[in-house]
Amino acid sequence: MHLLLLSNSTNHGHGYLEHALPEVLAFLHGVTEITFVPYAGGDLDAYTALVRATFEPHGIAVRGLHEAADPVAAIASAQALFVGCGNTFRLLAALQRLGVMPAIRARVQQGLPYLGANAGANITAPSIRTTNDMPIVQPESFEALGLVPFQINPHYLDADPAGVNPDESRENRLTEFLEENNVPVLGLRVGTYLSVTSSAACALAVVGGVPARSPSTDPAILFVRGRPPQNLAGDVSALLGHRPAADLPLADAVS
């Protein structure tokens, strides 16, 4: 598999994908057209136009999946997929409604390059249960692509020690998730990415300089049930060997 999963599509003071463009273009080396999946956004045409304006100056054409008469066939013929940021519930519901989840999963597992930003990174996990997004629509289920065997929390924000309500931190919410699910959660800090280069190899890195608004320079933080959070950088291939277990009976979940 070849996945490049960005925590965020914009950094403060930069245009769309500008902060990560060198890594993105390197990942797409040799690709002349990407199929863009815009369903996390509201105005699909405007969103696709933004992505076209980003990639076409670099010789990469953009085909919006919503423009295809047969979305499954469009995925089958794609050179690369880019699944954009926005609302993860809306994205997953649309992909389920179109019936394209199996096609995306199969093609990516066969080596189709997959670029995902925020929501697009969320759906590569076993489920979308660790998204930060509001459930503005009801998908058929929370089950996602399962391309990686751990959860992802893009745009992870570390708790502010001086905050007025420390019990409402991202860490608290992910700890609650782990009380019910035995699945590691990888929090990707702002300005970082996870690169998956095979079914057995993946690594973390920073794009665009030091992650914004973070007390740590490490790209990510890992949450595992029964262990303290661990900052991570570099090779994290061991995460690909995990076997997730969700919806645990309470006695098992907290043991």
pLDDT above 60 (res 250): no
80 Cβ contact list (under 8 Å, min separation 6): 28, 31, 33, 34, 35, 112, 113, 114, 115
- Better pLDDT: 204 or 83: 83
Place of tokens 């079914």: 199
Q: How far apart are CA 66 and CA 214, in angstroms?
A: 36
Q: How far apart are CA 111 and CA 60, in angstroms?
A: 19
pLDDT above 90 (res 57): yes
pLDDT above 80 (res 60): yes
pLDDT above 70 as % of the chain: 89
| Domains in the chain: boundaries | 3-253
State the pTM of this model.
0.91
pLDDT above 50 (res 7): yes
Collapse the DSSP code of 174 into the 3-class scheme (helix H, G, I; strand E, B; otherwise coil) and give the result: helix
Amino acid letter for position 169: S
Determine the pLDDT at residue 168. 75
What is the arithmetic mean of pLDDT over 217-228? 92
pLDDT above 70 (res 241): yes
pLDDT above 90 (res 11): no
What is the arithmetic mean of pLDDT over 20-24? 94
- Better pLDDT: 152 or 161: 152
What is the arithmetic mean of pLDDT over 50-77? 97
CATH T-level fold of 3-253: Rossmann fold (3.40.50)
137 Cβ contact list (under 8 Å, min separation 6): 87, 89, 90, 93
Two tokens at 245?
């277990």
Q: How far apart are CA 217 and CA 195, in angstroms?
A: 18
The pLDDT tens digits for 97-155 are 999 999 999 999 999 999 999 999 999 999 999 999 999 999 999 999 999 999 999 99
25-33: Cβ within 8 A, 24+ apart:
25/58, 27/2, 27/113, 27/115, 27/195, 28/60, 28/80, 28/113, 28/115, 31/60, 31/79, 31/80, 31/113, 32/59, 32/60, 32/61, 32/79, 33/60, 33/61, 33/62, 33/63, 33/78, 33/79, 33/80
pLDDT above 50 (res 245): yes
Determine the pLDDT at residue 217. 79
